């Protein structure tokens, strides 16, 4: 475990998956989910080169079928430390014979995790080392403690979007893992506020907001406005907590891509919001958490 400490805050990062496994703020509170294996062992895994399940267990790339794993493979692989300072660490993963068997490209995926005065930031960079265009999906999956700082109950909290939204969501079936894009989230009259209820995620598994106007959302206790602000520069946001567990966390997942759609072709190149990266180019995106 890599432990960064600066300004009274602490960020803990594992080489396995390059994953942030804990963040303690300057106020002494833990703001990320604990990673309890009895509920969900993840804390903030990276999703690459796939997001969610793929239709029929794989995808077609350049006319050939590949068994790309659910959420990709990066979260289960060891990253190497590339650079480290007082308040940041950069870790990287490059292709191997095993990755090329399920995703036939030469690449490097880097993650830089940085402590901020009031939170932390994660930035992803994908480099295409291949001789052809490389399609991929990329996303974060951080789980935040809710209630925040142990104040109140899960249902006392809301998500408040930066801008009014239509409420259109895609729902990911808990059994099929295929996305149906026909429903709306129960946003309040202001078009910005989504109340949190475990019952919603027991039913829907995840709310997937695509076509968002917002690039920030606050997770706050309704009575006090205290909580966190989550900013991102990807076009899709998944909201999830483990169904049937009444667990004290909510995942805010910024994605460049989508899970498999009910009516999709199965071709990687047809997936909504995926990135097509030219040979020799790089793509960067990420997210930031700030204490409110």
Q: What is the pLDDT of residue 204?
A: 79
Q: Is residue 58 exposed (0-12), middle (13-18) or buried (19+ Cβ within 10 Å)?
A: middle
**Burial of 202 from C-beta contacts in 10 A (0-12 / 13-18 / 19+):** middle
Q: Which of 34, 57, 1 is nearest to 260 (CA)?
A: 57
Residue 30: alpha-carbon gap to chain centroid: 19
Q: Are 198 and 204 in contact (CB under 8 A)?
A: no
Residue ranges of domains in the chain, CATH in brackets: 2-272+283-291 (2.70.98.10)
Compute φ and ψ for 71, nearest 5 degrees: 60, 10
The helix (run of H) or strand (run of E) holding residue 132 is none
Sheet holding 88-94, edge to edge: 80-84, 88-94, 107-116, 119-128, 282-291, 227-232, 216-221, 157-161, 193-195
Beta-carbon contacts of 76 under 8 Å, excluding residues fewer than 6 positions away, are 16, 17
Burial of 41 per CB tally in 10 Å (0-12, 13-18, 19+): exposed
pLDDT at 278: 98
Residue that the structure tokens 């829907």 belong to: 204
Predicted confidence at residue 169, as pLDDT, reads 84
pLDDT value at position 177?
A: 66
> Residue 254 phi/psi, 5° resolution?
-85, 130
Note the residue count of the chain: 292
Nearest to 47 by CA among 258, 261, 267, 264: 258
- pLDDT for res 186: 85
pLDDT along the chain (292 residues), means of 10: 94 98 97 97 98 87 93 97 97 98 98 97 98 97 98 98 89 66 83 95 87 95 97 96 96 95 86 96 98 98
Q: What's residue 176's pLDDT?
A: 59
Instruction: Report CA Rg, the chain.
Output: 18
At 183 the pLDDT is: 75
Predicted local confidence at residue 121, as pLDDT: 98
């Amino acid at each position: 475990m890599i432990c960064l400490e600066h300004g009274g805050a602490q960020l803990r990062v594992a080489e396995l998956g390059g994953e942030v496994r804990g963040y303690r703020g300057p106020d002494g509170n833990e703001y990320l989910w604990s990673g309890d294996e009895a509920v969900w062992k993840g804390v903030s895994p990276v999703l690459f080169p796939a997001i969610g399940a793929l239709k029929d267990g794989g995808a077609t790339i350049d006319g050939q079928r590949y068994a790309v794993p659910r959420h990709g493979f990066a979260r289960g692989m060891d990253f190497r430390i590339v650079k480290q300072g007082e308040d940041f660490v950069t870790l990287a993963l490059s292709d191997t014979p095993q990755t090329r068997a399920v995703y036939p490209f030469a690449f490097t995926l880097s993650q830089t995790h940085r402590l901020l005065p009031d939170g932390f930031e994660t930035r992803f960079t994908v480099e295409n080392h291949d001789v052809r265009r490389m399609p991929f999906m990329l996303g974060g999956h951080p789980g935040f403690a809710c209630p925040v700082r142990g104040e109140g109950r899960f249902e006392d909290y809301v998500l408040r979007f930066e801008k009014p939204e239509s409420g259109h969501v895609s729902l990911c079936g808990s059994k099929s893992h295929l996305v149906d894009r026909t429903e709306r989230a129960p946003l309040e009259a202001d078009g910005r506020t989504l109340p949190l209820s475990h019952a919603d995620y027991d039913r829907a598994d995840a709310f997937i907001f695509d076509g968002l106007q917002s690039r920030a959302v606050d997770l706050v206790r309704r009575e006090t406005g205290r909580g966190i602000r989550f900013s991102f520069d990807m076009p899709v946001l998944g909201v999830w907590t483990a169904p049937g567990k009444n667990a004290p966390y909510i995942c805010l997942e910024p994605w460049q891509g989508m899970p498999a759609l009910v009516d999709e072709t199965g071709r990687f190149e047809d997936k909504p919001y995926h990135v097509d990266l030219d040979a020799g180019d790089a793509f960067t995106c990420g997210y930031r958490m700030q204490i409110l």
